[in-house]
Amino acid sequence: MARFCDFNVPYSENTENLRQIVEMAIKLGYESVAFNCVVTPGTTKGQGVIPPPPKPVELSKTTLAPLMAQGKTFQQLTRLTAIIETHEQKYKVTANNPTITAYDILAVQPLNLKMFEAACKTLEVDIITLDMTQKLPFLLKLTPIKRAIARGAYFEIVYSPAIRDSTLRRYIISNATDLMTFCKGKNIILSSQAEKAIELRGPHDVANLGVLFGMNQVQAKDAVSINCRSVLLHAETRGSAVGVITIERIMKQTPGVISVERIPPVSTDKRALEKDSGGGQDPPGKKPKIVALKKIK
């Protein structure tokens, strides 16, 4: 069963308005929402301070009762969207900042072609979003978009501005269609960016909007469900550059017995790999250690 998500609910200090949006999302069938904090990282001290992740909204048992009856839970996630225009702002996002890593999802909104290419090719982010309510300040290119898709980043299309104004609607449809030309419907998520509960739409209605943007039915449904789950998986693995790989290899087979050799663990840490020029192999003359014997019946 698909888990429907909306990963762009603008955060504000008006907790009552946020509660109404979350309650409406639950009624419409969503099981996850992300409160989005938008910042422009400053290049000097005191500018563009990144706030800590917002706290979840308190929900009554009555509101959660329909989900609990189905054995489901509701997730309130946090998302940080950094608007980047210069290399200094880009470095602010890539810095090992504990405040940034405390957010569940990290997104960037590039304002020019250089930052768009950097977001697609090098930045460790989960979502790349663009202001589609106006003419884009640069032309989309296939190469960086393909690179972003290969790296597991997702592009976002928001729909609630199209509800507010007919002019914004034309821009969103035009820009979303252009993006579909390069993405072919892959690695896209559809979000609301709803400022009021009345601007939310049900997940199936949002999927129909995806078809209007150029997706097929399956891609449009994935854009509000499976793709959102992939964003969370990408966020969980983002920044984990160190790991250990253990390999077991069958060395010898004789009737009734299998001998297994354990190769020394190989670290994925670049610094460790530079020190280990032997590639994790045993020193010359050292016999492999037999770690397991299994009887074949």
- In a shared domain, residues 152 and 277: no
Pick from 67-76, 162-171, 181-190, 274-283: least confident: 274-283
State yes or no: pLDDT of 156 exceeds 50: yes
CB-CB contact of 112 with 139 (8 Å): no
Radius of gyration of the chain (CA): 24
Q: Which of 221, 237, 253 is the last residue of a domain?
A: 237
Read off the pLDDT of residues 206-217 as tens digits, 9 standing for 90 and up: 999 999 999 999
Confidence category of residue 189, pLDDT binned at 50, 70, 90: very high
Residue 32, number of CB atoms within 10 A of its CB? 20
What percentage of the chain carries pLDDT values higher than 70?
A: 77
Which of these three, 189, 207, 237, is where a domain ends? 237
Say if residue 135 is in the same domain as residue 277: no
Least confident of 61-70, 80-89, 272-281: 272-281
Q: CB count, 10 Å around CB of 99?
A: 12
The model carries a pTM of 0.78
Using the predicted structure, report yes or no on whether residue 281 has a pLDDT greater than 70: no
Parallel, antiparallel, or unpaired for β 257-267 and 244-254?
A: antiparallel
Range of the domain at 289: 244-295
pLDDT, residue 92, reads: 83
* pLDDT on residue 91: 85
Q: Taking each helix axis as running N to C, give the angle between helix 61-69 and helix 15-28, from 0 to 180 degrees, rounded to the nearest 10.
A: 20
Instruction: Answer yes or no: do 279 and 211 share one domain.
Output: no
Asked if 133 contacts 156 with a C-beta cutoff of 8 angstroms, the reply is no
CA-based angle 62:65:66, to the nearest 5? 125
What is the reported pLDDT for 257?
47
Q: Are residues 92 and 144 in the same domain?
A: yes
Determine the 3-state secondary structure of 170 from DSSP. helix
248, 153: one domain = no
pLDDT value at residue 22: 96
Q: What is the pLDDT of residue 278?
A: 47
92 and 145 in a common domain: yes
* Residue 170 and residue 205 share a domain: yes
Burial class of residue 270 in the structure, from the number of CB atoms within 10 Å of its CB (0-12 exposed, 13-18 middle, 19+ buried): exposed
Structural domains counted in the chain? 2
Do 249 and 232 lie in one domain? The reply is no
133 and 47 both lie in a single domain: yes
Q: How far is CA 106 from the centre of its chain?
A: 7
pLDDT tens digits, 246-264? 344 444 444 544 444 444 5
Q: Render pLDDT for 90-125 as a digit per residue (tens, 0 to 9).
A: 888 876 788 899 999 999 999 999 999 999 999 999
Q: What is the pLDDT, as a whole number, of residue 126?
A: 96
Assess whether 197 and 159 both reside in one domain.
yes
Tokens of 251: 């060395």
Tell me the CATH number at 66. Answer: 3.20.20.140
Residues 12 and 153 in one domain: yes
Residue with tokens 């800590």: 52
Q: What is the pLDDT of residues 231-251, one digit of tens each?
A: 999 999 875 544 334 344 444
- Classify 155 in phi/psi space as left (phi over 0), alpha (psi -120 to 50) or beta: beta
Question: For 46-60, what is each residue's pLDDT tens digit?
Answer: 456 788 999 999 998
Do 254 and 208 belong to one domain? no
The helix or strand, by DSSP H or E, that contains position 154, with its residue range, turns out to be: strand 154-158
